[in-house]
Amino acid sequence: MRLRRGKRQQADNRPEVDNRPGAPSATPGLAVELRDVRRQYGRGAGTVHALAGIDLALPRGTFTAVMGPSGSGKSTFLQCAAGLDRPSAGSVRLGGTEITGMSENELTELRRSRLGFVFQAFNLLPSLTVEQNVLLPMRLAGQRQDRRGARAVLAQVGLADKAKRRPGELSGGQQQRVAVARALVTSPDVIFADEPTGALDTGTAAEVLGLLRDAVDTLGATVVMVTHDPAAAVWADRVLFLADGAFADHLERGSAEQIAERMALLTSRTGAMAGVAA
């Protein structure tokens, strides 16, 4: 299924650069930029370094998959990159805007108006219709609810006839399509996807990943996806591999077999290092 090319709605008040005194300059054309991002939990001997100095620059209109062994820092990376958690040190920019110094209210507004999210558990409100779920980011942000836009994006994901249904009346794959539509409706700077196909069968997963791929190719969206599945990562332009809170490897346009081999090698190395440390 191909998404129809739509007009990318860019609000006039979206800042492309941060001109605050002392702020590091942004790099033009980047949707996501992390500079020496660190996240630690605890203190003293019990300190856990979940992120150990992440540097990352993702151009607009790209699809990036992030993989790594259990405990590698994937979830922490996504939470810090999306403004869901604050790094202990470093700089995060989304769409050219420095977010690490934002207040909680500013971060909430940014997530509602400029970011899209697709989660494994769909995160749809069962009491709302499909159309109302798609419009929810606009409603929460206090924006005018564009019902025509909602219907258009539902048509793009193949659910034009499901607008008045409730999530409980849909299959898992259809619910995830609603989540993709909700992520697209505000034309966000970045769509963050956290294991978006983890609850889906292989065929349905491919349909959802195809929608994300088409959002990049035809709408100019930027997608950052955390996944454990090489078959999902193959849809991305680039796969980044995390280990011990830092990027240890990457692969451009790899096959599922190549991605699985890299993951196996990384997992074995991480296990060996853990054994030495013990």
What is the mean predicted confidence (pLDDT) over 28-33?
A: 89
Among 18-22, 72-76, 138-142, 241-245, name the one with the lowest average pLDDT. 18-22
95: phi then psi, degrees, rounded to nearest 5: 60, 30
What is the band of 25 on the pLDDT scale with cuts at 50, 70, 90?
Answer: low
| Structural domain count of the chain | 1
Q: What share of the chain in percent tops pLDDT 90?
A: 74
Q: Which residues contact 228 (CB under 8 A, 6 or more apart)?
A: 67, 195, 198
Within a domain: 273: yes
Q: Is residue 36 over pLDDT 60? A: yes
Within a domain: 118: yes
Q: For the chain, what's the residue count? A: 278
Q: Tell me, what CATH number does 223's domain have?
A: 3.40.50.300
Within a domain: 207: yes
Structural domain boundaries enclosing 171? 30-277
Cα–Cα distance for residue pair 110/63, rounded to 1 Å = 21
Within a domain: 17: no
Within a domain: 10: no
- The chain-wide mean pLDDT, for the chain, equals 88
Within a domain: 11: no
Q: What is the pLDDT of residues 137-180, one digit of tens each?
A: 988 888 888 899 999 999 999 999 999 999 999 999 999 999 99
For Cα atoms 130, 131, 135, give the angle at the middle one, nearest 5 degrees: 120
Structure tokens at 146: 């564009």
Q: Is residue 22 over pLDDT 50? A: no
Within a domain: 106: yes
Within a domain: 5: no
State how far the alpha carbon of 36 is from the alpha carbons of 33, 59, 89, 93, in Å: 10, 18, 7, 12
Asked if 184 and 150 touch (Cβ cutoff 8 Å), the reply is no
Q: What is the pLDDT of residues 215-225, one digit of tens each?
A: 999 999 999 99
State how far the alpha carbon of 125 is from the alpha carbons of 82, 151, 168, 181, in Å: 21, 18, 10, 14
> For 55-58, which contacts have Cβ atoms below 8 Å and span 24 or more sequence positions?
55/247, 56/32, 56/81, 56/240, 56/247, 57/27, 57/30, 57/32, 57/33, 58/30, 58/31, 58/32, 58/33, 58/222, 58/224
Instruction: Record the pTM.
Output: 0.86
